[in-house]
Amino acid sequence: MTSAFDEMTGDGSGGVRDSYRALASWLELAPPDLLQARSRQAELFFRRMGVTFAVYGDAESSERLIPFDVVPRIIDMEEWAHLERGLSQRVTAINAFLRDIYGPQECLRAGVVPAELILTNPQYRPEMQGHRPPGDVWCHIAGIDLVRTGEDGFYVLEDNVRTPSGVSYMLENREMMMRLFPDLFAEHRVRPVDGYIDSLLTSLQDTAPERAGDDPTIVVLTPGPFNSAYYEHSFLADKLGVELVEGGDLFVDDDTVFMRTTEGPKRVDVIYRRIDDDYLDPLTFRPDSTVGVPGLMAAYHAGRVTLANAVGTGVADDKAVYTYMPEIIRFFTGEDALLKNVPTWRCREPEALKTVLERLDELVVKEVSGSGGYGMLVGPAATKAEIADFRARLTANPNDFVAQPTLGLSTAPTLDGGELCSRHVDLRPFVLTGPAESRVTPGGLTRVALKPGSLVVNSSQGGGTKDTWVLDV
């Protein structure tokens, strides 16, 4: 692998990039142990606040802090303008795609995406066929994972349109940075991120069922404190000023959703749910779900409640469907995709499978239904045994996999033991959609692979986060 593009120094030929100039000189003048001291301060504060993340299958540290890196990642105005247009285009197309899939299915008839790939996809919900959610919005909240390989080389690595997480870190990281480095903010014009909460509230209110009136009751539905993203659920409920509910707090009567309160049942109009489709309603989906609300789908189908995101959006972020996203965008917006897809081999196609099997040691192989960095092979970093294992799995179930070239993810300066080092980063901006438009919050969650050379940025796999600054100049 050639040396990667660096966010601060570019390809290394032209010194510090303009957007990083102020930061670079600040870093040079900063006393040697200042960053580490601030870093410890940040960790202490996050721990006291209980800003934690639960890691599956890890009983010892079941409540773990996601490491926070104090060196911000900076995006200039022009770069952002390009990303913003591309993200908004993409999410607009995703909503149109979902509306079509669960409606007239024109894109299937036109052959844009193979019908069988959609209709037999585990994330497609036949129960939703013919359903029109309030405001006709399907994906209210999207998190799009971007990676960068060069000056103009932004790629979409993955769409997250089910229950994307991480936005609390975007907001908390900014709070922390403003507390730790007020002088740095004085030297940069950083666009604020806290409009996210207002935008989210607006999207949820504007998509409430009609009968809810002007002041719909909104709740955040969580699977409970043992969920890995519980902190985020409670954070969002708190910032939105709405109740954080669990399945048991809600019940359905006469096709209407109510919550149990100390003053009796109260009607609920909009549910920002952080529970997967499968667990939402044991009378429609998995009967063994204990975190859902029996009868919720009856209320939903009766148009008495809004679920954000809608049920069945997962079919749009499936890794096999991802490969068709450029065609989907063209079909629904009439434009070429502004943000590129990473070239991807669909292992369901025999030719592609052959190529992938020949080049396993250099590719990244992903399970179509996997997420969070689980069920993934990073060829160049894998052992012989891991490669052999994936070869067997690929051969047995090629439909379950896609493969991509190992990308030279960009790096950004990151603090490691008091020294600034280059570490690989990605970026997850968040896109909110209401009945009228999609809005992108300027910034996002920058995830950083803390191990030298590692390309895996997922927090469940030891990744950390950074504040992301979008400059207004």
Partner 1 sequence: MRIRIDHTTRYDYARAARSIIQVLRLTPRSCEGQQVRDWRIETDVDTRLRRSEDAFGNIVHTLYTERPTNILTIRVSGEVSTVDTGGVVRGQTEKLSELVYLRETPLTRADAALNAYAHAIGDGRTLDRLHALMAAIHRDVAFQVGATSAAHSAAEAFTQRRGVCQDHAQIFISCARRLGVPARYVSGHLSRLDGLYEQEAAHAWAEAYVEGLGWVGFDPANGISPTEHYVRVAIGLDALGASPIRGTSYGGGDEHLSVALHVRPVQQQRQQQHQTRAGGL
Partner 2 sequence: MLSRTAANLYWTGRYMERADFLARILEAAIRLAALPAKDDPAVTAWASAVASSGVKAAFDSTGRTPSEKSVREFLAFGADNSTSIKACITRARANARSVRTALTIELWEAINGAWNGLNEIGEPTRRADFINFLDFVKSTSLAVEGATSRTMLRNDAYWFLRLGMAIERADNTARLLDVKYHLLLPPGERVGGQLDYFQWTTLLREVSALTAYRWVYRESVRPWLVADLMVLNRQMPRSLASCQGMIVSYLERLATDYGRRGPAQRLASARLARFEEARIEDIFQSGLHEYIQAFLSENHALGAAIHDQYLI
Question: Of residues 346-375, which lie at the interface with partner 2 (CB under 8 A)?
Answer: none
Please report, as a single letter, which amino acid is at residue 246: E
Which tokens belong to 6? 């660096």
How many C-beta atoms surround the C-beta of residue 198 within 10 A?
12
Cβ-contact 307, 255 below 8 angstroms? no
Nearer to partner 1, 127 or 386 (CB): 127
Please, which residue, 158 or 281, has the CB nearer to partner 1?
281
- Report the partner that residue 301 touches, choosing among partner 2, partner 1, none (CB closer than 5 to 8 A by kind): partner 1
Q: Which one, 49 or 77, has the nearer CB to partner 2?
A: 49
DSSP element (H, E) containing 198: helix 195-206
Helix (H) or strand (E) run with residue 376 in it: strand 376-378
Residue 427 to residue 160: CA distance in whole angstroms: 12
For the bound state, the minimum distance from the C-beta of residue 264 to partner 2, rounded and expressed in Å, comes to 9
Least distance to partner 2, CB of residue 61, Å: 12
> With respect to partner 1, which residue has the nearer C-beta, 265 or 373?
265
Site string for partner 2, 211-250 (x = CB under 8 A): -------------xx--------x--xx----xxxx-xx-
Q: Where are the beta strands (DSSP E) in 50-209?
A: 68-75, 141-148, 154-160
Between residue 147 and residue 166, which ones bind partner 2 under the rule CB under 8 A?
Answer: none
Tokens of 71: 């060196």
Q: Do the beta carbons of residue 8 and residue 24 sit within 8 Å?
A: yes
Of partner 1, partner 2, none, which one sits near residue 224, judging by CB under 5 to 8 A according to partner kind?
Answer: partner 2
Q: Which does 259 bind (CB under 5 to 8 A by kind): partner 1, partner 2, none?
A: partner 2
123 or 441, CB closer to partner 1?
123
Tell me which residues touch partner 1 (CB under 8 A): 105, 115-116, 119-120, 122, 126-131, 251-255, 282-284, 287, 294-295, 298, 301-302
**Residue 395 binds which entry of partner 2, partner 1, none, CB below 5-8 Å type-dependent:** none
Residue 43 neighbours by CB distance under 10 Å: 16
43-72: contacts with partner 2 (CB under 8 A): 48-50
**Which of 11/253 has CB closer to partner 1?**
253
Site membership for partner 2, residue 261 (CB under 8 A): yes
Compute the distance between CA of residue 403 and CA of residue 57 in angstroms, rounded to an integer.
27
Distance between CA atoms of residues 241 and 279, nearest Å: 25
Rounded-to-integer distance, Cα 231 and Cα 120, Å: 35
* Neighbouring residues of 81: CB distance < 8 A, sequence distance ≥ 6: none
| Binding at 50: pick from partner 2, partner 1, none (beta carbon under 5-8 Å per type) | partner 2
